[in-house]
Amino acid sequence: MEFPACPFCNVTVPSLEIERHANDHLDDEEYARDLEFAQQISLAPPFVDNSVEHINSSWDSPQEQFFKSVESEDVGWGCGWRNIQMLSSHLLKQRQEAREVLYGGSGFVPDIAALQRWLELAWERGFDTLGSNDFDQKIYGRRNWIGTTECAALFRSFALRARIVDFCGKDVSLGKTVGKRKVMQVYGPMDKFLLKGDSKIPGAVSSGDGSCKHSNIPFGNIEGHQVLIDWVWNYFSGNNSIQTGNQRVVLSGKPPLYFQRDGHSRTIIGIQVQHQINGMQHYNLLILDPASKTRALEKSLKENVGWQKLIKRGVHTLKKDQYQLCFIDPGIASGEELEKLKTLHSICVEF
């Protein structure tokens, strides 16, 4: 691969990315608007319903640039790539160690074509070999849908600790979805939220085809899809949080979550809790959808009108039998750990 110099800043970048890099210099004004837009998402005042006494807090991921599907380029198939771009944007801005290894240290988010080539390189290096067979090891220039496994394989190829969690109903068979992932416990900081600190998975049972294991560990009085909501709350409300001037908003320091369901994926950038008069707590996921129109969302945030229906999603909106999350633990893998990352693992949390 050639590394020509950018005509604007003289930085050498991969030839596949030179056009995107050069265009970025011409789009400073648009980028500034996107940056302001990201700040508005983090600091937008919460919507208060009449049935709500007060809102305790909203836990948000720090800035990431919003990437939406473009009608002339990737509408109908590009959501997974756009979500990878949003995760990449956060990592490049918030994690120095990730910035040094991602995309050859270029410091910017590649376009879809370049991401496709990076994924092929990950496959060539042995990351998710079984999964790459679904695409015949080729994806560059194609309009293939991708999911959490491709997201994890791509980030792992840069030695980032990308993890996958499956949330599924009791009667759902995961064979087609996770059969290519080895049955193995995920070891990382998020285990305590999945298994209450017990890495031996007591009570785990086979899913029938042996492709995955379900955790039967009880989550108190949590029922159904609330298990997923609880996991996301624990993720964003962990350590390394930064209180903003608005006491209702907390920047968690955590990367956003790649959020997959059958046929579509989105990015979870935070979660909001509302304490109701009856003592109950109501949670809303804060979601960026690549299918959303940027200008409509930006306008609603500036005017503080209608933004809730565009980015807030309560547990009642989770109607699918299966969801997947991809998250990225801190640090850079090396040696034996990096070699093990080539085989994808997941945990199945049953609801």
pLDDT digits (tens, 9 = 90+) for 126-143: 999 999 999 999 999 999
Statement: residue 41 has pLDDT above 60: no
Statement: residue 235 has pLDDT above 60: yes
Are the C-beta atoms of 41 and 286 separated by less than 8 Å?
yes
Are the C-beta atoms of 257 and 234 separated by less than 8 Å?
no
Q: What is the dihedral of CA 305, 311, 314, 317, to 10 degrees?
A: 110
Helix (H, G, I), strand (E, B) or coil at 187: coil
Q: What is the average pLDDT across 203-210?
A: 30
Q: What is the average pLDDT across 214-224?
A: 44
Whole-angstrom Cα distance, residue 281 to residue 33? 34
Q: Which helix (H) or strand (E) holds 34?
A: helix 28-43
Query: What is this structure's pTM?
Result: 0.70
306 φψ region: left (φ > 0), alpha (ψ -120 to 50), beta (else): left
Neighbours of 1 (CB within 10 A): 9
**Domain range list for the chain:** 1-30, 51-350
Whole-angstrom Cα distance, residue 308 to residue 286? 9
Statement: residue 234 has pLDDT above 60: yes
Q: Identity (one letter) of the amino acid at 312?
A: K
Whole-angstrom Cα distance, residue 38 to residue 301? 10
Sequence-separated contacts (24+) of 232-239 with Cβ below 8 Å = 232/257, 232/268, 232/271, 232/285, 232/325, 233/59, 233/271, 233/273, 233/283, 234/193, 235/190, 235/193, 235/327, 236/59, 236/60, 236/61, 236/270, 236/271, 237/59, 237/271, 238/189
Statement: residue 53 has pLDDT above 70: no
- Specify the pLDDT at position 223: 62
- Output DSSP code: residue 133: G
pLDDT digits (tens, 9 = 90+) for 143-184: 999 999 999 999 999 999 999 999 987 766 554 444 444 433
- Report which of residues 189 and 72 the model is more confident about: 72
pLDDT digits (tens, 9 = 90+) for 85-135: 999 999 999 999 999 999 999 999 999 999 999 999 999 999 999 999 999
Angle, CA of 304, 311 and 188, to the nearest 5°:
130
Backbone torsions φ then ψ of 63, nearest 5 degrees: -50, 135
Neighbours of 346 (CB within 10 A): 27
pLDDT digits (tens, 9 = 90+) for 286-332: 898 888 766 777 777 777 777 677 788 888 888 888 999 999 999 99
Whole-angstrom Cα distance, residue 286 to residue 146? 22
CA distances from 102 to 76, 98, 109, 155 (A): 27, 6, 9, 8
The second-level CATH assignment, the architecture, of 51-350 is: Alpha-Beta Complex (3.90)
Helix axes 112-124, 148-156, angle to 10 degrees: 70
Mean pLDDT of all residues belonging to the chain: 73
Taking Cα atoms as reference points, which of 169, 176, 178, 175 lies closest to residue 319?
169
Are the C-beta atoms of 24 and 6 separated by less than 8 Å?
no
pLDDT digits (tens, 9 = 90+) for 55-65: 444 555 545 55
Neighbours of 247 (CB within 10 A): 9
Are the C-beta atoms of 177 and 166 separated by less than 8 Å?
yes
